[in-house]
Structure formats: C-alpha cells, structure tokens
Structure 1
Amino acid sequence: MGSSRGSGAGNVWRVSGLRQEVDEPDEAVLARAARQIGLDPGQLAFARLAKRSVDARGRGADLHFVVQVDLAGQGPIRSQKFERLRRSGKVREAPTAASLRVESAGRPGGASGGAVPHVVVVGAGPGGLFAALGAAESGARVTLLERGEPIERRGRKVVAFHRGGEPDPDNNLLFGDGGAGTYSDGKLYTRVSDPMEFTVIQELIDAGAPPDIAYDARAHIGTDRLHRMLPRLRARLEAAGVEFRYGIRVTGLVRSSGARSEARIRAVATTEGEIPLDALVLCIGHSARDTWARLLEDGVLLEAKPFQLGVRIEHPQELITRGRYGPEIGDGLGPASYNLQSKGAPPAHSFCMCPGGRIVASVNEPRRLCTNGMSNSKHSSRWANAALVTTLTPEDFASFGFEGPLAGVELQRHLEERFFVAGGETYQAPAQRADDFLEGRLSGGELKTSYGFGAVPGRIDELLPPQVRDAIREALGRFDRTIPGFGGPEGLLVGIETRSSGPVRMTRDRESRRALGFENLFPAGEGAGYAGGIMSAAIDGARSAQSAVLEARESLSKPRS
C-alpha cells in the first residue's frame, strides 16, 4: 500500500469515527465512508476495514461497532467534505507497511556479492521467528535454535503433563515451537505504532490466521488455529533460507580473542557444540531463567525490571456477556471480553482476557505453580477468564530479601513454590471466590473451574504479597460496578499468575540495539525486556535482526589484519 503527499491518486486515506450497526454488512459501511468524504462508492479504487471495536457503553440499548476505514479514490479527492474532515483530523493518511528486508549503503537486502553474514537467532517464539525471517529476507544465512520441539511433538508433551506427568523443562506452555504465545491463544491486542505491524499481520494471515486480525481491535487467532499455522510459518522461513534446529540449548557465548573495547562473539556454545556466527539475536522469551543465569555469567549486562503479578479470575461466560452487552445480547457479537483498569494505589488491571476459554498450568519447572489462560478460535467454553495483575518493582523484590539482576526471578520462584504447596503439591491450584477474597475467608463447597488439574480452597488473600492483595481487592470493587457480579460468588480467583511479563532486562543501546559491551549481540523481545505480547515481540525481533545484519555486513567488509 503506497502513499504520497497531497490528495492525488494513489493515496490511501483513513476515515475514523464511523458507526457500524451489528447487523450492517461491511460493504455498506465502506460505501458510507466513501460518501462521507465526498466520493461516490463507484469512484473507489480501494477500500477495506482498518479497525473495528465494539461500543458496549449502552449495555444493549445501543450496541454497535466503531470503525475506521482505509480507502483510495481513482483520482485526486478534491471535495469540500474531504478537506473539512482532513482539517478536523477525522481523515488522515493511512500508515504504510514496512519491509522485513534491510538495506545498507549501496547494497539492497538480499543482493548478491560479498561475504554472506551468518546470523544465529535463539528462540522460535514470535520474536525469534520474525527475527529469522527479517535476517533471511535481508540476505543473511540464518540458523534458528530452539530448545523445544516442533509444535507437533511439543503438543504431545504438553498433553502428557496435563494428564498427570511431570513438566518437561523444554516443551511446555512456555517453551517450544511458537513460544509462549502459542498456548496463550494468539492474542494480538497489544498493538504498537510501527509500520512493521502491517507486515507481521500479513505474514500471519498468509500462514492461515483469519483476515479479520487486520482490523479487529480484539484480534485473536486461537490456540487450535495456531497449531495449524506454525508448520506453514516454518515452511515460509525455510523457503527464505532459514535452518531450524530444534531440541538444542544455548550453554554460553564464545568470544573472539584480542583486545577490544567491546566483546565480539565468534560462536555460541550449545548442547550440540559450538556454532560459529557473525551476529547473534537472542529472543529467549520471558521465562528463560536458566539462560539469563548463563548470560550473566558470560558478562551480559542484566538488570531487574518491574513485572506484573496476580491471579487468574474466572466467571461463567454468560455473566460477562450479560454484564457487557446487557440482557438482550446482540447477534453477531459472540462472547464478550473486557479490558478493565483500576487506578487505585497500587493500580491493577485485567490482562490476557480469554472469552470462552480455560485456565491452564503455565509451568516449566517442577514443584512450582503458575496459571495462564487460553481459548480456541470458536471461544466455545462456558467459562471466561483473565489475569488480574499489578506491578511489582525491584524495591518490592528487596522487601522479600531478593536483590540483584535476577531478584524478580527469585521472587517468582518463591511465590510459585508457595502456591504449589498450598494446592496440595499436585498442580492443583488454590482458589477463592471473589466475595470470600474481599472478606478474607476460606471458600466452602465445590469450586467449579475450567482449570484441568482442579482447584482446592485456599486463602489467596494470605498467599499473595500484601500489596498485590490490596491492589486486587480495590480492583474487584471497581470492576464489579462495571460488570455486575464480577466481584461476587460467581467469580473465582485461581492462583498464581507470575508470567504476564518478564522480570529481567538485557541492557542495550537504543539506536544500534546492541547489548551494551558487545559488538554483535542483539537481545530482543520479551526475554530481553523490550516487548510485551506477540505483536511487539515480533516487531522487536524483526527490527533487531535488521540491525544485526547491518552490523555483520559492516564487520565482514572490514579488512582482516
């Protein structure tokens, strides 16, 4: 999609603030967008939905969509309506897609001639997959290392754990083909203002994601569909020249000899030997605790960063849909979701909401408990769940006696062990009804939940750190006013949720994206502390890979002494 200045032919314009009725065809709203800027629909050269979200503020009385439309005319648009809307800001140039291919001075990405840099990418989550694709599209030879297995084998090991086995340290809901997002059902809610977003979205659609992820404000792929997409993404990368190596762990960094102001890595040490490289992109994910420890030993600068911690809360989906849309639920809207925020002290918010979903055990270490949520593409479960989290800081870590770059990791482990024991040491989860949590009492009777290992009554209000408990209590009261019943007996808190975000940052230069103190090490994504979610991780991986290719080309072009 191209764009130029002015209002001439070829420009794509974004029209905002359009209303679409629940039963109104998309073609009708596209035609209305054209007429709003003074075009006859027959004069359109191009039109598509750019964004669509539900406006449920009327709770059934006035349910509708709020829509943005991208369109272009067959010639210059010179109507007074168009100019007036441009001045008001309701019409603006539509953003354009960025290329995965990077160009260096005098040499476009993918061009032949000169030494071909070898870029090694660690991690096959969104960040790693798009880092590998970006490097390959830019003409590098790319090797992608993943500690887990392809999704076909990863899935079998996940099922084995949920049928009573022990967690596999490399193949679980956190590690393996596709990364943690594969089992957090492919939510694309967290968008960023980067033209690379459109490129990532199109690659996902080409791999089998539904086209509506390009405009749905609550875009969601679904775990079931992601399992089918990953082999296609793998084939796409392999066709671009990426070599996948599964079941291989990084054990260290091998530095070049000689005096340098910054260290240069000549190879990465792995469980299968050393792999020489020209640049290394680390996309290790937000739970790579063992890898962080090894990188710290190898001199990589890490720092503790704030992370989010809390619980899962689960309700009957009917309660959420009724509370959001009103008693007369409009056809075509599907199960309702929510995104709630409390501005208490400390603040809390919902995260990773799964309409028609289930709670799962997000575990990669034995005798530790962590929950997460997922849903399939049809949202067919009768349950709705989300994380309720607040933010803990390094100062909070210190209050528990944990200090240093990995202090947040140690706090996570401490709390995961506490909840594992409270659940009976069988991966059952302690749980407490929302009203009991507010009143500080143990829940009685059967605790119905979608969590596969089951729930046992527990004093979550006593198991959580006090500041987390207080933030969630404040939030429950506020959220119950937004969705009646949210903080009542039909709400069930299931704990604990520790992996909503990573507790570590690998320090890097803002412009070059290089790890401080290293010439050719590029940390990226959630595991580096620079992303939060599938979209931002994919973009950060792609951008970091572009920087890695440029650095490697420059290094290879220098005369060797």
Structure 2
Amino acid sequence: MREFNTVVAPEVGFEEEELRAHLVAKKLISQEEHIQVLRRSIDARQRQIKINLRIAADTAPISLEFVEYQPREWDVRSCPPVLIVGAGPAGLFAALRAIENGLKPIVLERGKDVRSRRRDLAAINKDHIVNPESNYCFGEGGAGTYSDGKLYTRSKKRGSVRRVFEILVAHGAPEDILIEAHPHIGTNKLPKIVTALRKTVIAAGGEVRFDSKVTDFLLEGDEIKGVTLADGTKLEGVATVLATGHSARDIFQLCQQRNILIEAKPFALGVRVEHPQQIIDQIQYKCADRGPYLPASSYGLVAQTTFQQAERGVFSFCMCPGGFIVPAATAPGEVVVNGMSPSRRDSKYANSGIVVAVELEDIPAFAKHGPLAALEFQAAVEREAWQYGGKTQQAPAQRLVDFVDGKVSTSLNETSYQPGLASIDMHDMLPDFIADRLRQGFKAFGKKMKGYLSNEAQIVGVESRTSSPVRIPREAETLAHPQIKNLYPCGEGAGYAGGIASAAMDGEKVMEAVVRSWKK
C-alpha cells in the first residue's frame, strides 16, 4: 500500500466514483488499484475552492482499520466498583476505561436515558417547562448529545483523539469522522451512539443508573468513601470520579458546603448570532450557491476589545452551520441558549456563540461569593434574560446592526429558536462590559467578513454555558483532588475539558490515574 496527497475540485473530492476516475486519468493510480481516503479538508481561501486529500492506494481492497481500539468482551461483575458521577462523554469513556482495567464502573446520572430526555426537551420548546433534572444539559450523553456533536479539538496532549473516534465508530458513528479535518456527528445520530456505549458498559457487568442524583459525599476525614443519592441510597467505591458537566451548580455548592476545595474560574459569556446560512456560504465560498457538494460553511472569529482600559477577547464559540438555536436552561427562572446541528447540517440558518472572556476582576460585585463568584454572575445574567424574555423560555433578541447602533428592532427575523423571541435593547439586559465588547467585536467581524454585519442577522441571548465557571482542582501527577483522597475531578465540569472529544479523553486519562492508584 502506498499513500499520497492530491488536491481536487469539490465535485471530485466528495464523490467516490468521480475521485477514482480522476485519479486514474491523472495516472496517480492504475485501473486495478483500490483507494481509501485517509484525510480530507476544504481549502476555501481562494475563489476556486479545493479539497485536500490524503489517499491510500493498493491492489487489494482497503478499509479504515482500528489502530488504537479493538472491541472485545469483558466481565467485571465481580470486580471492585468505581463510582462515576455523570453519564456525559467524560463519564462514559471513563467507564469504558475502567472495564478495560478490571474495575466495575457504576455510572450515576441525575437525568433520564437518552430517549426519555426527548419528552423533556419538547416540553422546554413547546410549553416553556424546564425539568431541572432532564434538559439539554442533564441526562444520558450530557450536554453534547442534543447540542451538536462537533468533535474537533486542539487538546492533542490530553490523550488519543484517534482512539476516541474509533470507539465512537465502533458504536455506530460514521467512519467519516476518522478522515474529516473537522469531524461532526450530528445531534440526530448521537442518541443511538450514546445508547450503544451504555449497552457496552452494561454488557461487561458495569452499571448505568438513571434518576440517580448525588446529593452528598460519604467523607471520612480527608477521604471520600462514596456518595449519597437523592433517594437516600448510599454507594461506595474504590474512587469517586466527578464528571458532572459545566452546569451542575448543586455539585459545586455541595463541594463548598463540605469544605472541599474549589476555585472560581474565568469563563466566557455573550449571545448567539443567527444568520441565514446562505449569507455565510456566500462570504466563505465566494459564490452565490455552494452547490450540492460543499457542506454548509462555518467560520471562526476573534477580536481584541478594550473596555475601561482592560483588554479582553471576543470570539466565536460552538459555530453551528445549518443548525438551530435551542433552549439550554437547567432550572426554571433562567434563559440560556445553545446551538446544535443535525448530521446533514441542512437547516437554512447558521448560528454561533459570540462570547466575551470574563475574568474575575471584571465582576468585583460578585467577589463576596468566593469560589462561586463567576457562577453567581453567570446565574444573575441568565435570570435577567428570563425577565426580559417575558418570564418564559422566549429569548431576548435584537437585529445585529440595530444592536451595534443601539436601536431597538421594530421587528425580528425568522428564527430556528422554537420558544420564540422577544425584541429588546440587549444593551439593557447585558452587563455594560459584555455589551460594549460585543459591539466592538461585531464591528471587527464585519470588517473581516464582508456581509457579516447585517440586519439579516440577529443576536439571541444569553449564551452563558461556554465552560465551567468553577474549577475543582486536582494534582498534576495523580489527577486526584489535592485535599480529598480518592476524589477525581474530571471533564468540563471540573474545568479540564471543552467539548465531546476533550472530555472523553479526559475521562480516559482520569480513569487510568484511578487504576494506577488502586493497583498500588
């Protein structure tokens, strides 16, 4: 087998028969050879868009092989238990790693299984009813399952990205994620994959318990023995892994109440901006119609802003081409928005978080809350959004140019956000330093992408769950909490990951640390 790079047109790069004919015509392969795309990326920097490919060719048929993960049967029913709090990517991948190393994972999820969650999501969208235990953030699969499914990560040092992708493919994800430069699964496909991961855990003798909210820790001196659930059940294990996600405020509050060290952490807060997807395509692809081969285009933007002599970044976050804005509140009395895309990315809308970096010195009025300072600031802004939205899940909104110019929009555009929008002056709702920096950022983005700053776009608030506003510290070598023995903070909620892939890698990394400690 040999490998080579080539550059082709979109209609060739995404069609297997066209690609093969092109390679034969260019004498890059013979008629007898088989091919397999190993890597694919889009280069849209010039008017003539190109597809960069890494190709394998051989006289024998080629398939994408697993090189870092080999599925096999395990039996850990009689092995020592390890408790994993949270069934998001960090928790599920920690469970798989526990099984491979001779521990029985007991995964405790406060919410419902992935299928049952759908009824609660429908209730948020249609009836404006927020179930605080089952919503877009809480439930099997975590916040990523019903948000988007983007897998791109820069966290290469955290673990093996390839291994994570291979595990996902082994559980039903499309093989394309192994070759795309910016892989994406889609919220319509993720539920089946999450279900398959759970079945693997259970088949090996592990447990996944739903409606199992942790309400207390079983502490003996400086060591955690286990947890107490809302129904009074007490569980013990060789270690407790906290993989609760960035929105489990009650866990942070419990840590503070039990004198477990936590720290306030900088995060980012802002809005979702929604454009017609056609506008973003025209800007990025430099053509009126992207045609049948090119995917819905995305963007990444960043600008430096100054407010009261302090510089902060404003940047795009979780950009969802061909996607939808969804209500991501986790409690009544708050409005939070997030973005998601189906696998086809075929919605007529593009949306992205545009957020401002928030440092602790930006919010001095909340310093009295100590390690919960950033969390309380975050919650206060979400409550304001709920008030301005009419005390429902309607989201405050404003046309983009109107926001920059300080005008209330007399009407709003159509939107993908099902609960509906309320036209307000977003400067009234947002803290001054957030609103002013957003205004500066949008002006800068309008210069970088001609046509971006338009009243055909609108901002929708508030985008506040970008990352955890609290860090649960851990030691660099052992990955255990510095004060409490056998407590292992993990994933986004502890402040050590920022997406599906990085959280999954962190889950594996933490469980490996648990195993090392257990085997001593």
TM-score, normalising length from structure 1? 0.83
Q: Deviations over 1:346-405 (max 9, x none)?
A: 221111111121111101111111111112122222111110012101112324555411
**Secondary structure of residue in 2 paired with 1:380:** coil
Alignment of 1:19 with 2:7, yes or no, is yes
Q: Show the 5 A alignment for 1:393-542.
A: 393-400=359-366, 402-542=368-508
Q: Deviations over 1:524-547 (max 9, x none)?
A: 100010000000000001110111
C-alpha separation in 1, matches of 2:30 and 2:312: 51
Alignment of 1:324 with 2:284, yes or no, is yes
Report the CA distance shift for 1:481/1:41 in structure 2 as closer, same or farther (over 3 A): farther
The one-letter code sitting in structure 2 at the alignment partner of 1:391 is A
The one-letter code sitting in structure 2 at the alignment partner of 1:269 is T
The one-letter code sitting in structure 1 at the alignment partner of 2:258 is D
Gaps in structure 1 of 5+ consecutive residues? 1-8, 75-95, 102-108, 258-262, 555-561
Partners of 2:366 and 2:374 within 8 A in 1:
no
2:250 aligns with 290
Report the CA distance shift for 1:368/1:517 in structure 2 as closer, same or farther (over 3 A): same
Say which is worse superposed, 431-440 or 371-380, in terms of deviation: 371-380
Report the CA distance shift for 1:296/1:100 in structure 2 as closer, same or farther (over 3 A): farther
C-alpha separation in 2, matches of 1:334 and 1:166: 35
Say which is worse superposed, 283-292 or 451-460, in terms of deviation: 451-460
Partners of 2:124 and 2:393 within 8 A in 1:
no
1:304 aligns with 264
Partners of 2:474 and 2:481 within 8 A in 1:
yes
After TM superposition, give the deviation of residue 99 of structure 1 in Å: 5.9
Say which is worse superposed, 137-146 or 398-407, in terms of deviation: 398-407
Of 339, 345, 348 in structure 1, the residue corresponding to residue 300 of structure 2 is 339
Report the CA distance shift for 1:132/1:33 in structure 2 as closer, same or farther (over 3 A): farther
Of 131, 139, 151 in structure 1, the residue corresponding to residue 102 of structure 2 is 139
Gaps in structure 2 of 5+ consecutive residues? 61-65, 306-310
The one-letter code sitting in structure 1 at the alignment partner of 2:48 is D
2:135 aligns with 172
C-alpha separation in 2, matches of 1:347 and 1:317: 25
C-alpha separation in 2, matches of 1:168 and 1:284: 17
C-alpha separation in 1, matches of 2:21 and 2:129: 57
**Secondary structure of residue in 1 paired with 2:350:** strand
**Secondary structure of residue in 1 paired with 2:502:** helix
C-alpha separation in 1, matches of 2:301 and 2:38: 24
Q: Show the 5 A alignment for 1:33-44.
A: none
Of 32, 42, 66 in structure 2, the residue corresponding to residue 54 of structure 1 is 42
C-alpha separation in 1, matches of 2:69 and 2:347: 39
The one-letter code sitting in structure 1 at the alignment partner of 2:228 is A
C-alpha separation in 2, matches of 1:206 and 1:390: 38
Partners of 2:75 and 2:204 within 8 A in 1:
no
Partners of 2:321 and 2:349 within 8 A in 1:
yes
Structure number with larger C-alpha Rg: 1
Q: Show the 5 A alignment for 1:65-144.
A: 65-68=51-54, 98=68, 116-144=79-107
The one-letter code sitting in structure 2 at the alignment partner of 1:236 is T
**Secondary structure of residue in 2 paired with 1:479:** helix
**Secondary structure of residue in 2 paired with 1:415:** helix
Partners of 2:10 and 2:50 within 8 A in 1:
yes
The one-letter code sitting in structure 2 at the alignment partner of 1:22 is P
Identity %: 37
Alignment of 1:163 with 2:126, yes or no, is yes
After TM superposition, give the deviation of residue 228 of structure 1 in Å: 2.3
2:319 aligns with 353
Q: Deviations over 1:414-435 (max 9, x none)?
A: 1011111111111211111111
**Secondary structure of residue in 2 paired with 1:539:** helix
Q: Deviations over 1:442-462 (max 9, x none)?
A: 111244211111111111123
After TM superposition, give the deviation of residue 342 of structure 1 in Å: 1.9
TM-score, normalising length from structure 2? 0.89
**Secondary structure of residue in 2 paired with 1:391:** strand
Of 264, 274, 283 in structure 1, the residue corresponding to residue 234 of structure 2 is 274
Q: Deviations over 1:220-276 (max 9, x none)?
A: 21111112222212112212222111101111221236xxxxx22222122241101
The one-letter code sitting in structure 2 at the alignment partner of 1:271 is A
Say which is worse superposed, 209-218 or 166-175, in terms of deviation: 209-218
Alignment of 1:63 with 2:23, yes or no, is no
The one-letter code sitting in structure 2 at the alignment partner of 1:307 is F
Of 209, 212, 227 in structure 2, the residue corresponding to residue 248 of structure 1 is 212
Partners of 2:69 and 2:166 within 8 A in 1:
no
**Secondary structure of residue in 2 paired with 1:349:** strand
Say which is worse superposed, 377-386 or 312-321, in terms of deviation: 377-386
C-alpha separation in 2, matches of 1:399 and 1:41: 70
C-alpha separation in 2, matches of 1:479 and 1:20: 30
Partners of 1:352 and 1:387 within 8 A in 2:
yes
The one-letter code sitting in structure 2 at the alignment partner of 1:440 is G
C-alpha separation in 1, matches of 2:57 and 2:514: 36
Partners of 1:137 and 1:240 within 8 A in 2:
no
The one-letter code sitting in structure 2 at the alignment partner of 1:23 is E
**Secondary structure of residue in 1 paired with 2:148:** coil
C-alpha separation in 2, matches of 1:308 and 1:28: 45
Of 166, 172, 178 in structure 2, the residue corresponding to residue 214 of structure 1 is 178
Partners of 2:94 and 2:504 within 8 A in 1:
yes
After TM superposition, give the deviation of residue 27 of structure 1 in Å: 8.0
The one-letter code sitting in structure 2 at the alignment partner of 1:313 is V
Partners of 2:261 and 2:473 within 8 A in 1:
yes
**Secondary structure of residue in 2 paired with 1:185:** coil
Aligned length, in residue pairs: 505
Q: Deviations over 1:148-185 (max 9, x none)?
A: 01011111111122221421011000000100001212
Of 261, 264, 270 in structure 1, the residue corresponding to residue 223 of structure 2 is 264
Partners of 2:128 and 2:392 within 8 A in 1:
no
Q: Deviations over 1:318-371 (max 9, x none)?
A: 111111112252431122111222244422111111112111110111111111
Partners of 1:342 and 1:478 within 8 A in 2:
yes
The one-letter code sitting in structure 1 at the alignment partner of 2:294 is L
Report the CA distance shift for 1:249/1:50 in structure 2 as closer, same or farther (over 3 A): same
After TM superposition, give the deviation of residue 97 of structure 1 in Å: 5.4
Q: CA RMSD in A?
A: 3.0
C-alpha separation in 2, matches of 1:69 and 1:291: 48
Partners of 1:402 and 1:411 within 8 A in 2:
no
C-alpha separation in 2, matches of 1:98 and 1:522: 25
Q: Deviations over 1:437-481 (max 9, x none)?
A: 111111112442111111111111232222222322222123223
Report the CA distance shift for 1:199/1:314 in structure 2 as closer, same or farther (over 3 A): same
1:198 aligns with 162
